[in-house]
Chain A
Amino acid sequence: MPYICAGDPTLDLSRELLLTLEEAGADLIEFGIPFSDPIADGPIIQKASERSLSGGTSIDQVLNLVSSLRKETDIPIALMGYYNPIFRMGVDTFCQQAVDAGVDGVIIPDLPPEEAEPLLESVSGCNLATIFLVAPTSTSNRIVKIAELSKGFIYCVSVTGVTGVRDVISGQVSSMVSEIRSHTDKPICVGFGVSTPEQAKQVAQIADGVIVGSAIVKMIEKNLFDELSMLQDVRRFAEGLSKGVKEIIVP
C-alpha cells in the first residue's frame, strides 16, 4: 500500500504514478492531500507537500483527479490529509464529494477520536471508511476506542515519530499489532518508516497490510526532472515491495 502526495510533482504525473503503482501490484493507494504545515511528516513528505502546493494543487483538484481516475481503475483509494483543508471546505461537503469522486476512505493524522464527531456524523450515511491511527504511545483504552471507530482498516503507526525512511523496523511493532489484535478483528496495516522490501516482508508477517510512503516519495524527488526514470524507478521499487509482501500474505 503505497503513499504518494497528489500533485507531486504535478497532478498529471500523480495520475501516471498511481496507475503505475497499481500495475506494480499495489492493493490500495494512499493519496495525500498536500498541506502547508504537515506536523506528522518528516522532511521527505514535507517537501512533496511543498512541491505540490507550489504547483497550486487544491483539494478540489485532488477530488477531480480521483473522479477521473475512476474511469480507468477500481483500486481502493484512501485520501490522507490534515484536517484544516477539510474543515475549511466543510466536513459534510468534503465527505459527499469524496464519495461522489469514488474515494474509499479517509485518513486524517491530526484528528484523534476526541475531535472526530463531525467527521463520523458526516460519513454515517455514506460509504466512506474512516481510518484512525494507533500510535506506540496509545493506551489499551484508546486502542479499543480507535479500533471501534475505524472502518476499512486500522492504521498502526510503527514508530514514535514522524514519517520518514528508517534503517530498521522497531521491535515494538509486533507487540503493538498483537495488542491491537486482542481488541479487534479489523485488518491492521502498519506504516511510518517501512522503506525496503525486506522490511515490508518482515512487517507482512504480522500485519494485514504494509504502508510505504517516504521511500517512494524519495524516488519521485530523485527523478524530478526525468519523468521516465521516475516512473521506472517507482515501478521497480513497488514491484519489489509487492513481491516481498505477497510471498507472505496470501490473499
Chain B
Amino acid sequence: MKQTMPDKTGHFGEFGGRYVPETLMPALLELEEAYMSIKNDSEFQVEFDYYLRQYAGRPNPLYYADRLTEKLGGAKIYLKREDLNHTGAHKINNALGQILLARRMGKKRIIAETGAGQHGVATATVCAKFNLECEIYMGEEDIQRQSLNVFRMRLMGATVIPVTSGSRTLKDAVNESMRDWVTNVRTTHLLIGSVVGAHPYPVIVRDFQSVIGKETREQILAQEGCLPDQVIACVGGGSNAIGIFYPFYHDESVELIGVEAGGESVLSGNHSASLGAGSIGVFHGAKCYVLQGEDGQITPAHSISAGLDYPGVGPEHSFYRATGRAKYVSIEDDESIEGFKLLSETEGIIPALETSHAVAYIASVAPQMNPSQIVILCLSGRGDKDVYTVAEALNVEL
C-alpha cells in the first residue's frame, strides 16, 4: 500500500489521527484549514523560501565524506549538512515554517516542547526574530544534560519551564506543553518539533522538513548522476528522517533506513526503539508504535541522547514500517559514542549524539558494501551541545 498524504481524518494507513481532548479539536481543525490554505499559496512559499535561504542558510551542501569513505572501505558516503544550518540542526526548517504559519493565524504566544534543546533553541530563535512570546517546556533531566542549549534559549528571551512530572524527559515535556495548549488554545500556537502529535502536525512538520530530501535528491543527481542506494537518518520522533526520506518515497530502488536509539540495549528494556521493539498504541494524540507495557501504560524511554529519548514515533514512520517502505534498526549508547568520535576524527565534523547513532550504523554496514554504492547520511545536527555528555561517557573531566 502506498500513501503520501493522510486521509480526511489524518491517518496514514491505520496510523495517526486525532486522539486529543475535545478542547483541542477545534484548534486542530483550524490549524489544518490554515495549513491547507498556505500549502499552495505561492506568497507563503516565497516567504518561507526566503527565510530558509537568507536566515537559515539553505541550501546546505551534500558533502562527499572521502576520508570516512576511505576509512570504512566500502560504500561511498555523502553527508547532508543540516548541522550547518543556523542554530546547528534541521529543527530550524520546521520552526521557521510554523512561525510563519502561526503569524498568519494571528497567534501571539508560542509554546514548544524540547528534548535535546535543539528544537527549543530553534523555536526561541524564530520567536526572537519575529517578536513573539515564547515558552519552552523541558524535562528537568534534560535541562541538566543540555545546559548549553538552555542558556541559548534564555539568551534569546525564551522562558524555559522545567518539567518535573513523570520521567522528566521529552515525553513529559510534550504532556506539559499539551496541557498548556488545552488551557491557552485561543491565543497560543503549539509549535511541535517533530512529526508526532495529532493530525495535522505530522504532515505539517513533514512538509516543512522535506526541504532536506528535495535538496538532497537534486544534489545527488547533479553530483553523481544517479540516485543513492541508501538514505540513512536517526529517528527520535522522526522529523529529520522523514524530511530526507519523503522525497525518495517513490524511488523504490532507494533503501530508506531509520536508526533508533538502542539505549543500554534493546533486550535490557532501557532503550528508545519504538519501531524496532514497541507495539501499536495511541500516544500523544496519534496511533503509532510506542513503548508500552501489557496494560497500555507508556514505558519511559532511555537514550544517552536527549533528542532520541522518546517512547513514541511519528505515524508516517509507523506506516513506512508496517508497509515495509523503510527499515528501522537500532544503535546502543556506547556505539553512538564511537560514531561521534569516528566522524570527528575522520571528517573534522563533530556530530550531534542523535546523528552519531546513524554514523555508527553506517560504520557497521558500509564496509560490506562496494565502492559503486552510494549511501547518504542525514547529518541532522552538530555536536557542541553534547560535549559534556560525551566527556562524561569517556571519563574525561572538562
Please tell me which one of the listed residues B172, B182, B295 contacts residue A59 in the complex, with CB atoms under 8 A apart: B295
B97 to chain A, nearest CB (A): 25
A161 at the B interface (CB under 8 A):
yes
B25 at the A interface (CB under 8 A):
yes
In whole angstroms, what is the CA distance A84 to B299 when docked? 12
A134 at the B interface (CB under 8 A):
yes
Contact with A along B193-215 (1 / 0, CB 8 A): 00000000000000000000000
Q: Give the residues from 97 to 148 in chain B that come closer than 8 angstroms, CB to CB, to chain A.
A: none
In whole angstroms, what is the CA distance A200 to B186 when docked? 27
Chain A residues contacting B178 (CB-CB under 8 Å) are 39
Task: Contact check, B20 vs A112: say whether CB atoms are below 8 A apart.
Answer: yes
Task: Contact check, A135 vs B21: say whether CB atoms are below 8 A apart.
Answer: yes
Task: Contact check, B20 vs A110: say whether CB atoms are below 8 A apart.
Answer: yes
Give the interface residue-count category, chain A.
Answer: 35 or more
Chain A residues contacting B296 (CB-CB under 8 Å) are 35, 59, 84-89
- Given A85-B297, A87-B282, answer yes or no on A157-B183 (Cβ-Cβ < 8 Å): no
In whole angstroms, what is the CA distance A87 to B298 when docked? 13
In whole angstroms, what is the CA distance A88 to B292 when docked? 9
Chain B residues contacting A115 (CB-CB under 8 Å) are 9, 17-19
Task: Contact check, B182 vs A161: say whether CB atoms are below 8 A apart.
Answer: yes
A229 at the B interface (CB under 8 A):
no
Task: Contact check, B26 vs A37: say whether CB atoms are below 8 A apart.
Answer: no
Task: Contact check, B182 vs A40: say whether CB atoms are below 8 A apart.
Answer: yes
Q: Give the residues from 287 to 337 in chain B that come closer than 8 angstroms, CB to CB, to chain A.
A: 290, 292, 294-298
Please tell me which one of the listed residues A37, A50, A132, A136 contacts residue B298 in the complex, with CB atoms under 8 A apart: A37
A183 to chain B, nearest CB (A): 15
Task: Contact check, B179 vs A114: say whether CB atoms are below 8 A apart.
Answer: no
- Given A83-B282, A89-B296, A161-B183, answer yes or no on A133-B166 (Cβ-Cβ < 8 Å): no
Chain A residues contacting B17 (CB-CB under 8 Å) are 114-115
In whole angstroms, what is the CA distance A138 to B185 when docked? 12
B27 at the A interface (CB under 8 A):
yes
Task: Contact check, A133 vs B21: say whether CB atoms are below 8 A apart.
Answer: yes
- Given A85-B296, A85-B297, A160-B182, answer yes or no on A37-B18 (Cβ-Cβ < 8 Å): no
- Given A40-B182, A83-B282, answer yes or no on A114-B295 (Cβ-Cβ < 8 Å): no
- Count of B residues near A, CB < 8 Å? 36
B347 to chain A, nearest CB (A): 40
Contact with B along A136-173 (1 / 0, CB 8 A): 11110010001000000000010011100000000000
In whole angstroms, what is the CA distance A133 to B19 when docked? 13
In whole angstroms, what is the CA distance A138 to B23 when docked? 7
A76 at the B interface (CB under 8 A):
no
Chain A residues contacting B283 (CB-CB under 8 Å) are 37, 84
Please tell me which one of the listed residues B18, B182, B184 contacts residue A39 in the complex, with CB atoms under 8 A apart: B182
Chain A residues contacting B171 (CB-CB under 8 Å) are 37
A42 at the B interface (CB under 8 A):
yes
Task: Contact check, A136 vs B23: say whether CB atoms are below 8 A apart.
Answer: yes
Q: Give the residues from 71 to 91 in chain A that come closer than 8 angstroms, CB to CB, to chain B.
A: 83-89
Task: Contact check, A114 vs B25: say whether CB atoms are below 8 A apart.
Answer: yes
Closest to A134 in B: B22
Closest to B178 in A: A39
Chain A residues contacting B24 (CB-CB under 8 Å) are 137
Please tell me which one of the listed residues B179, B285, B298 contacts residue A162 in the complex, with CB atoms under 8 A apart: B179
B389 at the A interface (CB under 8 A):
no
Chain A residues contacting B183 (CB-CB under 8 Å) are 160-162
In whole angstroms, what is the CA distance A161 to B22 when docked? 11
In whole angstroms, what is the CA distance A53 to B296 when docked? 12
Chain A residues contacting B285 (CB-CB under 8 Å) are 110
In whole angstroms, what is the CA distance A224 to B28 when docked? 39
Chain A residues contacting B19 (CB-CB under 8 Å) are 83, 110-112, 115
Task: Contact check, B179 vs A39: say whether CB atoms are below 8 A apart.
Answer: yes
Please tell me which one of the listed residues A35, A132, A146 contacts residue B297 in the complex, with CB atoms under 8 A apart: A35
A36 at the B interface (CB under 8 A):
yes
Please tell me which one of the listed residues B18, B281, B298 contacts residue A112 in the complex, with CB atoms under 8 A apart: B18
Contact with B along A88-122 (1 / 0, CB 8 A): 11000000000000000000011110110000000
Q: Give the residues from 222 to 275 in chain B that come closer than 8 angstroms, CB to CB, to chain A.
A: none
In whole angstroms, what is the CA distance A88 to B287 when docked? 11
In whole angstroms, what is the CA distance A109 to B294 when docked? 21
B3 at the A interface (CB under 8 A):
no
- Given A88-B281, A112-B20, A157-B23, answer yes or no on A137-B295 (Cβ-Cβ < 8 Å): no
A58 at the B interface (CB under 8 A):
yes
B344 at the A interface (CB under 8 A):
no
A196 at the B interface (CB under 8 A):
no
A14 at the B interface (CB under 8 A):
no
Closest to A155 in B: B22
A46 at the B interface (CB under 8 A):
yes
Chain B residues contacting A138 (CB-CB under 8 Å) are 22, 25-26
Contact with B along A166-195 (1 / 0, CB 8 A): 000000000000000000000000000000
B176 to chain A, nearest CB (A): 9
B292 to chain A, nearest CB (A): 7
Task: Contact check, A160 vs B185: say whether CB atoms are below 8 A apart.
Answer: yes
Chain B residues contacting A146 (CB-CB under 8 Å) are 22
Chain A residues contacting B60 (CB-CB under 8 Å) are none
Q: Give the residues from 8 to 49 in chain A that come closer than 8 angstroms, CB to CB, to chain B.
A: 35-43, 46
A44 to chain B, nearest CB (A): 12
B219 at the A interface (CB under 8 A):
no
Q: Could you pull out 17 A-B pairs where Cβ atoms are within 8 angstroms?
A: A37-B172, A46-B165, A58-B295, A84-B292, A84-B296, A85-B295, A88-B295, A110-B21, A112-B20, A112-B25, A133-B22, A135-B25, A135-B26, A137-B27, A137-B186, A139-B26, A162-B182
Known pairs A42-B179, A85-B296 / 16 extra A-B pairs, C-beta < 8 Å: A39-B21, A41-B179, A84-B282, A84-B290, A84-B296, A87-B281, A110-B285, A135-B22, A135-B25, A137-B23, A137-B25, A137-B185, A139-B26, A142-B25, A160-B186, A161-B182
